[in-house]
Structure formats: structure tokens, C-alpha cells
């Protein structure tokens, strides 16, 4: 099966959501009055989720620096009807992530209709493999996510480096999700035999770079990754040039993933 793809989008592109995305990806902190509630965002995604069998409620750890609490995630899952909740985790902290999982899994399992999505965390290859092994033993975890950040204690290894090690030394028994990307050209490098394990991908890269007027080239992004986060720029105004670049980047990204001719 081909990976499903979703790109975070600003409000100005909400009407094009289903043309751009294969599934909705929701950020919990934008749905909660205790954090950074956005009424228009919440209203849109409450209706959007109804049109899809697959949807992800992210714990917003990347945006906030810490995950939204499990109790909030359960309430949101029940209110919005998402198919998957991202388990609270600690960035690059394997032991901290395991501790959070042990604390929060009892609060999540069976408390909503959503399944559990868990993100690998660690500073090196071995910690990431250990994290995979821990999640793999938990039957209630349906999807394992791998973020795009490099591993500082393993020669700055990329996600591609880690994923190739993972598929060689472990039997992949759960669905895999790729969270974000540093350079979308990464996806040109995967073999079809590797992508068979990847259920879904999410990244705002085509949108943020289109807004910055960075057009993807044959092998990906030729500029440094923008520092802006789409969640902080939901009200961005897109010019005609921006929109054309977003369209170009969305098409190019799918070409990278699906190995179609570049145009």
C-alpha cells in the first residue's frame, strides 16, 4: 500500500484540504483553551475528521516542548472522533519517554475509540532500537512514529540511516509513520521495498517553503529548512506566487515519495 500523506495547512487553504491531504492531522494545543485554542481551526477539523477513516491527534510536543496531558488527549479524541492519539513522549529522551508511556498508557487505552500512536525517542541508534522494542511489545500500540531529527550520539545519523538499520535488524510488525522532514529530498532515497513499511507521512514542508517562495528542485530543498512552524502561522497570507509554489511543492513531494517523473 502507498503511504498516506498529510501536510499541515494554514486557514487560507482549509477549503483545499482534501485536494492536498490523504488524512487530517490535528494539533492538540490548538484545540484546547488551556493552551492556544483557535476557534476556526477547531471548527474546521471537527467537521474534517468526519470525512476520513484515518486521522491523527498529535500531542503537540514538537510545538510546545512538552506533550499535552493524556486526560486532555482522551477528551479531544472523544470530542473529535479521531482514529489515533499520539502517546505523550519526551524529545530525544528514551528513558523519559518510557516513563511517560508507563504513566499514560493506562489513561489512554480503552478510554476512547482511538488507537495508540507512539513516537520513538533517543539520542543514538541503540536507544531508538530499544524504544522500538519497548513499543513493539505493547499490543495496544498500532503505529510507531519516527521523527526527522538526527541522532547526535550516532554521528548525526539521519532518519534514513536509522530506518535502514531498523529494517535490517528488526522484524517490522507495526505500521510506521514518518513525522516531518528536514529536506523532502529524503524521500527520493527510499526504495519501494522500504516504503512498504510506511503507513503514513506528515510534514508542513511543502506549505512553509511555498510561503517562503522556496520551490523544491529535482533532489529536494536547495535552501536551509525554514525555522517557522506552521502552527504559529495559521493566519499567513498567501500571494498568487506563494500558492503556485505551494502547488508545485505538493506535487514534487508526492513525486519524491511515489517515484513518479518530476514535473
Write out the E strands in the chain.
Answer: 4-6, 25-27, 56-58, 84-86, 115-119, 141-147, 175-179, 198-202
Identify whether the C-beta of residue 143 lies closer than 8 Å to the C-beta of residue 112. Answer: no
- Kind and range of the H or E run holding 101: helix 94-108
Q: Dump pLDDT digits (tens) for 71-112.
A: 999 999 999 999 999 999 999 999 999 999 999 999 999 999
pLDDT score of 262? 53
Name the CATH topology of 4-258: TIM Barrel (3.20.20)
pLDDT score of 223? 94
Identify whether the C-beta of residue 32 lies closer than 8 Å to the C-beta of residue 57. Answer: no
Residue 260 has pLDDT above 60, yes or no: no
Q: Dump pLDDT digits (tens) for 130-142.
A: 999 999 999 999 9
* pTM exceeds 0.85: yes
Q: Dump pLDDT digits (tens) for 158-215.
A: 999 999 999 999 999 999 999 999 999 999 999 988 999 999 999 999 999 999 999 9
Q: Name, in order, each residue with C-beta under 8 angstroms of 236's C-beta and a sequence gap of 6 or more.
A: 10, 12, 211
Q: Dump pLDDT digits (tens) for 23-57.
A: 999 999 999 999 999 999 999 999 999 999 999 99
Amino acid at each position: 500500500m502507498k503511504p498516506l500523506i498529510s501536510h499541515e495547512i494554514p486557514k487560507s487553504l482549509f477549503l483545499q484540504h482534501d485536494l492536498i491531504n490523504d488524512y487530517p492531522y490535528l494539533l492538540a494545543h490548538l484545540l484546547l483553551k488551556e493552551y492556544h485554542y483557535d476557534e476556526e481551526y477547531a471548527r474546521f477539523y471537527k467537521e474534517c475528521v468526519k470525512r476520513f477513516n484515518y486521522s491523527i491527534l498529535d500531542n503537540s510536543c514538537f510545538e510546545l516542548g512538552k506533550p499535552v496531558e493524556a486526560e486532555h488527549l482522551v477528551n479531544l479524541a472523544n470530542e473529535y472522533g479521531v482514529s489515533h492519539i499520539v502517546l505523550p513522549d519526551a524529545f530525544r529522551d528514551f528513558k523519559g519517554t518510557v516513563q511517560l508511556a508507563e504513566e499514560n498508557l493506562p489513561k489512554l487505552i480503552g478510554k476512547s475509540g482511538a488507537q495508540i500512536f507512539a513516537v520513538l525517542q533517543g539520542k543514538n541508534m541503540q536507544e531508538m532500537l530499544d524504544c522500538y522494542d519497548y513499543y513493539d511489545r505493547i499490543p495496544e500500540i498500532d503505529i510507531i512514529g519516527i521523527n526527522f531529527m538526527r541522532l547526535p550520539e550516532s554521528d548525526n545519523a539521519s532518519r534514513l540511516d536509522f530506518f535502514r538499520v531498523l529494517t535490517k535488524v528488526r522484524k517490522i510488525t507495526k505500521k510506521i509513520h514518518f513525522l516531518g522532514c528536514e529536506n523532502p529530498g529524503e524521500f527520493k532515497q527510499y526504495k519501494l521495498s522500504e516504503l512498504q513499511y510506511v503507513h503514513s507521512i506528515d510534514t508542513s514542508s511543502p506549505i512553509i517553503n511555498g510561503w517562503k517562495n522556496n520551490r523544491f528542485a529535482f533532489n529536494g530543498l536547495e535552501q536551509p529548512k525554514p525555522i517557522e512552524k506552521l502552527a504559529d502561522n495559521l493566519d499567513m497570507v498567501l500571494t498568487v506566487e506563494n500558492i503556485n509554489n505551494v502547488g508545485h511543492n505538493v506535487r514534487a513531494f508526492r513525486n519524491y515519495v511515489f517515484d513518479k517523473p518530476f514535473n
